[in-house]
Structure 1
Amino acid sequence: MTMDLFSSSPRQTKDDDEPDSSEIKIYSVVEITRHIKFLIEESFPSLVVRGEASNLTRHSSGHIYFTLKDELAQIKCVIWRSQAQQMTFSLNEGMKFLVRGKLSLYEKGGYYQITVLDIQPEGIGELQLAFEQLKKKLFAEGLFSEKHKKPIPGFPETVGIISSPTGAAIRDIVSVCRRRMPSVQLILSPVKVQGDGAVEEIVRAIKDFDSYNNVDVLIIGRGGGSIEDLWAFNDEKVARAIYHCSIPTISAVGHEIDFTIADFVADVRAATPSAAAEIAVPDKSEVEQQLANLRYTLIQNIENTIGYYRDRLKHYEERYAFRRPENIVEQYRQQADGLERRMSRQVIHHIRLYGQNLKHFEDQLRTLNPRNTLQRGYTITHQHNKVVQSLRELAEKEPAVIEFYDGKSEVEIKKISR
Structure 2
Amino acid sequence: MSVPACTVVRVSSPAQSSGGTPPRTTAASVSATASGSAGASSADEPWPVRVVSTKIKQWIDRLGGVWVEGQITQLSRRPGTRTSFLTLRDPSADVSLQVTCSPRLLSESPVELVEGTRVVVWGKPTFYVGRGTFSLQVTEIRPVGIGELLARIERLKALLQAEGLFDPRLKRPLPFLPNRIGLITGRASAAERDVVSVSERRWPEVKFEIRNTAVQGAGAVAQIVEALRELDADPEIDVIIIARGGGSVEDLLPFSDEALCRAIASATTPVVSAIGHEPDSPVCDHVADVRAATPTDAAKRVVPDVVAERQLVRELRDRCVSALRTWVVREERLLEQLRTRPVLATPMVMVDQHREDIALHRERARRELSRALDVAGSEISHVRARLAALGPAATLARGYAVVQEVPADGPARVITSVAQATAGTEVRVRVTDGVFRATSRGSE
| Counterpart residue identity of residue 179, structure 1 | R
Match of 2:68 among 56, 64, 83: 83
- Asked if the contact 1:191–1:201 (Cα under 8 Å) also holds between the matched residues in 2, the reply is yes
Secondary structure at the residue paired with 2:68? helix
Distance apart, 1:190 and its partner CA: 2.2
Q: Bigger CA drift: 324-333 or 200-209?
A: 324-333
Instruction: Give the equivalent residue in structure 2 for 1:141.
Output: 163
- Asked if the contact 1:270–1:276 (Cα under 8 Å) also holds between the matched residues in 2, the reply is yes
What do the CA deviations read for 1:227-280 (whole angstroms, capped 9, x no partner)? 222222111111011112222221111222222111111112112111111111
How many residue pairs get aligned? The number is 253
CA distance in 1, matches of 2:195, 2:206: 12
| Counterpart residue identity of residue 167, structure 2 | S
Distance apart, 1:226 and its partner CA: 2.2
Residues 259 and 321 of structure 1, relative CA distance in 2, 3 Å threshold: same
Regions of 4+ moved over 6 Å: 59-62, 85-89, 98-102, 329-335
Instruction: Give the equivalent residue in structure 2 for 1:168.
Output: 190
CA distance in 1, matches of 2:193, 2:206: 16
TM-score, reference length from structure 2: 0.49
- Asked if the contact 2:186–2:213 (Cα under 8 Å) also holds between the matched residues in 1, the reply is yes
Report the structure number with the largest CA radius of gyration: 2
- Asked if the contact 2:186–2:215 (Cα under 8 Å) also holds between the matched residues in 1, the reply is yes
Instruction: Give the equivalent residue in structure 1 for 2:378.
Output: none
CA distance in 2, matches of 1:173, 1:82: 42
- Asked if the contact 1:160–1:215 (Cα under 8 Å) also holds between the matched residues in 2, the reply is yes
Distance apart, 1:161 and its partner CA: 0.8
Pair 1:228 & 2:278 matched: no
| Counterpart residue identity of residue 174, structure 1 | V
Residues 50-65 of structure 1 mapped to structure 2, 5 A cutoff = 58=7
Distance apart, 1:173 and its partner CA: 0.7
Residues 149-298 of structure 1 mapped to structure 2, 5 A cutoff = 149-298=171-320
CA distance in 2, matches of 1:266, 1:227: 19
CA distance in 1, matches of 2:277, 2:284: 14
Compute the RMSD of aligned alpha carbons: 4.0
Distance apart, 1:295 and its partner CA: 1.8
TM-score, reference length from structure 1: 0.52
| Structure 2 spans left out of the alignment, 5+ residues | 12-63, 72-89, 93-110, 112-118, 123-137, 362-444
What do the CA deviations read for 1:300-346 (whole angstroms, capped 9, x no partner)? 111100000010011111123323446556878979xx9xxxxxxxx
| Counterpart residue identity of residue 301, structure 2 | I
| Counterpart residue identity of residue 159, structure 1 | I
| Structure 1 spans left out of the alignment, 5+ residues | 1-45, 50-54, 63-78, 90-97, 103-114, 339-418
Instruction: Give the equivalent residue in structure 1 for 2:151.
Output: 129
Among the aligned pairs, what percent are the same residue?
37
- Asked if the contact 1:88–1:127 (Cα under 8 Å) also holds between the matched residues in 2, the reply is no
| Counterpart residue identity of residue 127, structure 1 | L
| Counterpart residue identity of residue 140, structure 2 | L
Distance apart, 1:85 and its partner CA: 6.6
What do the CA deviations read for 1:186-244 (whole angstroms, capped 9, x no partner)? 22122222233221221122222222122232211112222222222111111011112
- Asked if the contact 2:181–2:207 (Cα under 8 Å) also holds between the matched residues in 1, the reply is yes
Match of 1:118 among 101, 116, 141: 141
Distance apart, 1:165 and its partner CA: 2.9
What do the CA deviations read for 1:74-107 (whole angstroms, capped 9, x no partner)? xxxxx93352577989xxxxxxxx99999xxxxx
| Counterpart residue identity of residue 117, structure 1 | E
| Counterpart residue identity of residue 80, structure 1 | G
